[in-house]
Amino acid sequence: MEFIKVNKAYAKHIALIQLNRPKELNALNLQLMGEIRDCLKELDQDDEVRVIIISGDERAFAAGADIKQMAGKSTIDMWKVDQFSTWDQINKTRKPIIAAVSGFALGGGCELAMTCDMIVASETAQFGQPEIKIGVMPGAGGTQRLTKALGKAKAMELVLTGKFISAEEALGYGLINKVVPVEVYLKEAVSLASEIAAMSPIAVQMAKEAVKRSFEVPLEEGLHFERKNFYMLFSSEDQKEGMNAFVEKRKPDFKGK
Ligand code: HXC
């Protein structure tokens, strides 16, 4: 991996993917996105890993797709490269992903954070979709996910003016989970990840799948899907362990089986 660093020993059951193009503010070139995709695919298959964190560095989570790589491209070039199939793969990750965001989360960087399941941000974080300033528009979910989180008026303002919002504002809109001082944003992300990692990984993944489904389908269909996953969990050992532990007044020890 050239543009990401992966640490599977960061904390128990937690893998950390750190974007590693600091000089370019972690601009997301095609190789970097491919590395994230491949890495997530591998981590999804690794039973030791239950939660994944994606971070950048203090100055930038990611300042967007790599403008220098895109500048001279034609429509057909872009179509042939088909970069969004990479994003689609990332979006299929079963395990929960937390974005730990400090500094710029712009354009594709904001979209990558929103593709994750939760966002823990430092007070210095800034979110925005500034593509309009370079003559294009969001392409990896910005118009959709931002609108679902912020509502039409504010999303429209951000997408049409390219202005940024602070972490505090993003928190107010429900775009992110938590804002903390920059010194501890990664620690906070790990703490949230550890809380989730203590649960049954099967229940966690099925619950994630059901919550995500709520964005795709009408209520009745979503409820049907939820019910199916709820029933399925009764064939896991973790369900027996969780409920027995409650009855026996002890802490459950979930094995992911
Ligand atoms: C390529 C980038 C980059 C980007 C920053 N850099 N953002 N390179 N693509 N998206 C590079 C700069 O060229 C510069 O390299 C170095 O990173 C530091 O950036 P500066 O501009 O010198 O830093 P600063 O003055 O602090 O300004 C920070 C900034 C600004 C406000 C974040 O860099 C900026 O506006 N970046 C572009 C943001 C953007 O438009 N993002 C959306 C991209 S389109 P050099 O070598 O010149 O010093 C997009 C579409 C997604 O994301 C669609 C699907 C994936």
Give the pLDDT confidence of 176-204 residue by residue, as tens digits. 999 999 999 999 999 999 999 999 999 99
**Residues in the chain with pLDDT < 50?**
none
| Spatial separation of the C-alpha atoms in residues 144 and 110, rounded to whole Å | 12
List of domains in the chain: 4-197 (3.90.226.10), 201-247 (1.10.12.10)
Best of 19, 21, 24, 161 for a ligand 1 pocket test (most atoms within 8 Å of beta carbon): 24
Give the pLDDT of residue 64.
98
pLDDT tens profile 117-143: 999 999 999 999 999 999 999 999 999
| Spatial separation of the C-alpha atoms in residues 40 and 25, rounded to whole Å | 21
108 catalytic per annotation: yes
Closest Cα to atom 16, ligand 1: which residue? 24
Centre of ligand 1 to C-alpha 60, Å, is 10
131 catalytic per annotation: yes
Report pTM. 0.97
Phi-psi region of 107 (alpha: psi -120 to 50; beta: other; left: phi over 0): left
Residues 122, 144: contact at Cβ < 8 Å? no
Please give the backbone phi and psi of residue 30, each rounded to the nearest 5 degrees, phi first.
-65, -40
Residues 85, 37: contact at Cβ < 8 Å? no
| Spatial separation of the C-alpha atoms in residues 6 and 36, rounded to whole Å | 10
Q: Which amino acid is at 13?
A: H
Give the pLDDT of residue 129.
98
- Of 125, 213, 222, nearest in space to 164 by CA: 125
Query: If you ran DSSP here, which 8-state letter would residue 196 be given?
Result: H
Give the pLDDT of residue 22.
97
